[in-house]
Amino acid sequence: MSRARIHPVTGTVRLRARELMRRPVVAVALLAQSAVLIAVDLVDVVGRDGDAEQGRDLVLLGLRVVAAPGGLVFGVLAAAVVGSEFTWSTERALLARDPRRGRFVALQLVVTATLALAWWVVQSLFAVGLGFALQLQAGPDPAAAWRWAANGRALAAVGAVTLVYGLVGAACAIAARGALAGVVAVLAYGLLGELGLAPLWHPVDDWTLWTSATRLVVGQGDPVPGQSLVVVAAVGLLALSASFTFYAGREITR
Amino acid sequence: MLRKSWLVAKGTALAAAVELKGVHRRLGRSPALDGLDLRIEERELYGLIGPNGAGKTTTLRITLGLLRPDRGEVRLLGADPRSGDHGRGRRVGSLVDGPALSPRLTGREQLALMARWSGSPGSEVDRVIRLLGLGRMTERPIATYSSGMRQILAIAAAMVGPPELLVLDEPTVGLDPGHRRRVDDLLVEHVRGGGTVVLSSHQLDDAERLCTRVGLMADGRLVEEGPPSELGPAAGRYEVTVGDPEAALQALRAARLICWHDHGKVVVETGQAYRPDRPDGSTIARVLAEAGIFPSDLRRSPTLELAYAQLTGGNLARV
């Protein structure tokens, strides 16, 4: 019996995904993000004064945390994962076999997208499960604890934001050509740029990925904010094109 | 077995597997390659020899499309080395600048990764594992490998395909004698099967024994090229071990052969390779036999060591 032929990139991604599951950095990022989520939810529950209606929607709160800062945490993870191709010089072995720079970048972005999907599923399930459980404990009505429209939209927004932060992380690693340099670059973008400098000038703050992610998730039935969608899409496209552009003329000198 | 599609039929004119014409390349401020001309035919086992900084690795990197030349023309299997067309992934295997492996993968997974990336069938993994006798070592994570094990795995990864052309930079560095011998034999078999091998090495004895042609590089240029036995000042020189060196010298000189006594051996100089009437080993054996002298050993002198010493001016610090 002959097995179905697997596309080269699919087969490569599968093996890279298997490898990622063994990396401590992935487990550390997942645990760190989960710890933040638990802490935020518990602080909110403890802060309530007995009336559940006065508390926030814990499902949405959890999903907001998964989007931001969770998105940024995932961006750091993506930079570390993609950057390791440069740190371990496995880039050289792959390019020596197939020198097409675009194909190499495409592989990195597909690996990032696959990891983003896994991250989104795990983190969203955890956020929704934890939020829903705490919500039920605080208020007796399960129907009030779950709102399909708002939560569905928030889940979709979390997925999009996670992917885009991942693409930003991958682009940083590709541009900086290293794991550490990539992580520093994405942290500089997120912490210094979006959280440090942008709030100093309100018009810029409205156009950051962080603000857009938060708005998309906590919209709560309002019409989807077009500006936030534009920002998320534009940053994603910018990260994609930057990855291919920065890497097009890549030369291996060591 | 190598794929039939690219096996060269007997009698067919051989094409160049690698061709560099007037290639210049600077790395930083200094020129790494300075107008390099190099042509390696298919079915050759070609060795690049030279001191550190001569430009060997840069040549291999440019050949593989990892670097672009500043000037000049490069062809790899008849195509631009930076193009990935015509199944390039399966046709060229390489090991340049040491092993490049993912430490969290097992050896088998690393080979599978290379097979997938190059579009080779999964059965290639088992083939190269058997070929290099890697066995159960491939079930362990690469992070647990010694440097020699990493090197042999990287060679195995280069052989996944199977490739037409193997480009190897110092392939036997760090290998134990058993694996070193196995790799040497595989390279020779690869060429016998219709493939081509380009290697750079500091192992002069290996290069002399294995290579069909050797190029001596210095300062980014090819300074001498040819079969190893015909390079350098020791080309055409033989070493004879006999019981009575003085009698042997007398007999050889009577036959008008240039010879001298050196560290218990008789050295016979037969002249440069291009002389059509040059005496060879059988001439020396016959002359000695006629004088009733039967050597216990008669062999060509190692040539590359002297050629290399001449190239580097005898300055071992450059090696």
Q: Within an 8 Å CB–CB cutoff, is residue A90 touching chain B?
A: yes
The whole-number average pLDDT for the span B134-138 is 91
pLDDT of residue B7: 41
Let me know: does B38 contact B49? Beta carbons within 8 Å.
Answer: no
Structure pTM?
A: 0.84
Q: Which helix (H) or strand (E) holds A183?
A: helix A179-187
The fold for domain B237-301 equals Alpha-Beta Plaits (3.30.70)
Asked whether the predicted pLDDT for residue B311 surpasses 80, the reply is no
pLDDT of residue B190: 95
CB contacts of B81 in chain A (<8 Å) are 99
**Do A98 and B66 lie within an 8 Å CB cutoff?**
no
The answer as to whether A33 is a domain residue is yes
pLDDT in tens, A133-152: 888 877 656 666 677 788 88
Asked whether the predicted pLDDT for residue B316 surpasses 60, the reply is no
The answer as to whether A253 is a domain residue is no
The nearest alpha carbon in chain A to B165 belongs to A97
What's the ipTM? 0.85
pLDDT in tens, A37-53: 899 888 887 776 655 45
Q: How many CB atoms lie within 10 A of CB B213?
A: 16
**Do A99 and B116 lie within an 8 Å CB cutoff?**
no
Mean pLDDT, rounded, of chain B: 86
Q: How far is A2 from chain B (nearest CA, A)?
A: 11
Q: Within an 8 Å CB–CB cutoff, is residue B79 touching chain A?
A: no
The answer as to whether A252 is a domain residue is no
Spatial distance between the Cα atoms of A74 and A170, rounded to a whole number of angstroms: 10
Q: Range(s) for CATH 3.30.70.100 in chain B?
A: 237-301
Q: Within an 8 Å CB–CB cutoff, is residue A89 touching chain B?
A: yes
Question: Which of B92, B102, B123 to mutate against chain A (most A CBs within 10 Å)?
Answer: B102
Q: Measuring CA to CA, which residue among A187, A9, A254 is closest to residue A109?
A: A9
Nearest to B68 among A8, A103, A251 (CB): A251
Angle at B80 between CA B78 and CA B81, to 5 degrees: 100
The fold for domain B4-230 equals Rossmann fold (3.40.50)
The answer as to whether A21 is a domain residue is yes
Asked whether the predicted pLDDT for residue B304 surpasses 80, the reply is no
Asked whether the predicted pLDDT for residue B13 surpasses 60, the reply is no
The nearest alpha carbon in chain B to A101 belongs to B82
The answer as to whether A2 is a domain residue is no
Q: How far is A156 from chain B (nearest CA, A)?
A: 32
pLDDT of residue B4: 42
Q: Within an 8 Å CB–CB cutoff, is residue A92 touching chain B?
A: yes
Q: What percent of chain A has pLDDT over 70?
A: 89
End-to-end CA distance of chain A: 44
DSSP states along A11-39: HHHHHHHHHHTT-HHHHHHHHHHHHHHHH
Nearest to A252 among B61, B83, B89 (CB): B61
Q: Within an 8 Å CB–CB cutoff, is residue A141 touching chain B?
A: no
* B24: helix, strand or coil: strand
Number of compact structural domains in chain A = 1
* B31: helix, strand or coil: strand
B193: phi then psi, degrees, rounded to nearest 5 = -80, 5
Host domain of residue A94:
8-247
- Judged by average pLDDT, the poorest of A106-115, B111-120, B240-249, B305-314 is B305-314
DSSP 8-state assignment for residue B32: E
pLDDT of residue B264: 83
Q: Range(s) for CATH 3.40.50.300 in chain B?
A: 4-230
Q: Within an 8 Å CB–CB cutoff, is residue A2 touching chain B?
A: no
pLDDT of residue A144: 67
pLDDT of residue B318: 41
CB contacts of B67 in chain A (<8 Å) are 251-253
The answer as to whether A1 is a domain residue is no
The nearest alpha carbon in chain B to A21 belongs to B104
pLDDT of residue B317: 41
pLDDT of residue B9: 42
pLDDT in tens, B182-206: 999 999 999 999 999 999 988 888 8
The answer as to whether A39 is a domain residue is yes
Spatial distance between the Cα atoms of B37 and B42, rounded to a whole number of angstroms: 17
The answer as to whether A166 is a domain residue is yes
Spatial distance between the Cα atoms of B155 and B95, rounded to a whole number of angstroms: 7
**Do A19 and B102 lie within an 8 Å CB cutoff?**
yes
**B229 to each of A178, A212, B45, how far by Cα in Å?**
46, 72, 14
Q: How far is A119 from chain B (nearest CA, A)?
A: 20
